[in-house]
Amino acid sequence: MAEDVNLSSMQTLRGVVKWFDPTKGYGFIVSDEGGPDILLHINVLRNFGQSSVADGAVVQLIAHRTTRGVQAVEVLEIEPPKREDVPVLSDFAELDMAEISTRPLEAARVKWFDKGKGFGFANVFGRSEDVFLHVEVLRQSGLADLQPGEALAMRVIDGKRGRMAVEVLAWEAANI
């Protein structure tokens, strides 16, 4: 039975992802305004165009109070966790990260990604070679996991070990 949403109880909130588990299909956000944790269901996240979100990411959302607590009903914006000035991987140590952010976004699909191994690969549309995806690049981009076939936008470099993603965005967030 669907729960009725009281429109007068809708509220725009901002908070930090406490944890999110794509396997369980949910996680929680701690609101900047305090109060109980906000439940974030994977379907709400998918409606935003992502299948995961990194711990520590800042989320702006619309939520409402139910008999079971506060639940997100729409994600409006996700900001990745704050980056440190140190490059994410040693492969990026000699790169100018400011210059990297000016590179074009490339449309891609996830070939496979194994969070346990910490890496996977994607294919850029119109190109045959694989692009390496490292879990730390995902975290710095605000993502925690990827599903095969998921559409992405990536900034890619030719690294020491081939083509590598240095930034990954959800397709919908990329505005390509």
pLDDT, tens digit, for every residue of 124-157? Answer: 988 888 999 998 888 888 888 888 988 898 988 8
The band of 3, judged by pLDDT with boundaries at 50, 70 and 90, is very low
For strands 58-66 and 26-31, give the pairing. Answer: unpaired
Which of these ranges, 66-70, 87-91, 101-105, has the smallest mean pLDDT? 87-91
pLDDT surpasses 50 at 5: no
State the chain's mean pLDDT as an integer: 83
Each domain of the chain, given as residue ranges in start order, spans 7-79, 90-174
Mean pLDDT of the 60-76 span: 93
Under 8 Å between Cβ of 50 and 78: yes
- Report pLDDT for 63: 94
The band of 175, judged by pLDDT with boundaries at 50, 70 and 90, is low
Mean pLDDT of the 32-36 span: 90
The band of 29, judged by pLDDT with boundaries at 50, 70 and 90, is very high
Mean pLDDT of the 9-22 span: 91
Residues 6+ apart with CB under 8 A from 164: 91, 131, 132, 134, 137, 156, 157, 158
pLDDT surpasses 90 at 162: no
Quick one: which of 113, 133, 142 has its CA closest to 49? 142
Which of these ranges, 37-41, 58-62, 157-161, has the smallest mean pLDDT? 157-161
The SS3 of residue 44 is: helix
Strand extents, DSSP E, 2-128: 11-21, 26-31, 38-41, 58-66, 69-79, 106-114, 119-124
Under 8 Å between Cβ of 75 and 45: yes
Give the Cα separation of 148 and 10 in Å (integer). 34
- Report pLDDT for 51: 85
Indicate the fold that domain 90-174 takes in CATH. OB fold (Dihydrolipoamide Acetyltransferase, E2P) (2.40.50)
> How many other CB atoms are there within 10 angstroms of residue 159's CB atom?
16
Domain 7-79: top CATH class: mainly beta
- Report pLDDT for 91: 64
Mean pLDDT of the 50-71 span: 90
The band of 88, judged by pLDDT with boundaries at 50, 70 and 90, is low
Output the pTM of the full model.
Answer: 0.65
Strand partners, 72: 63
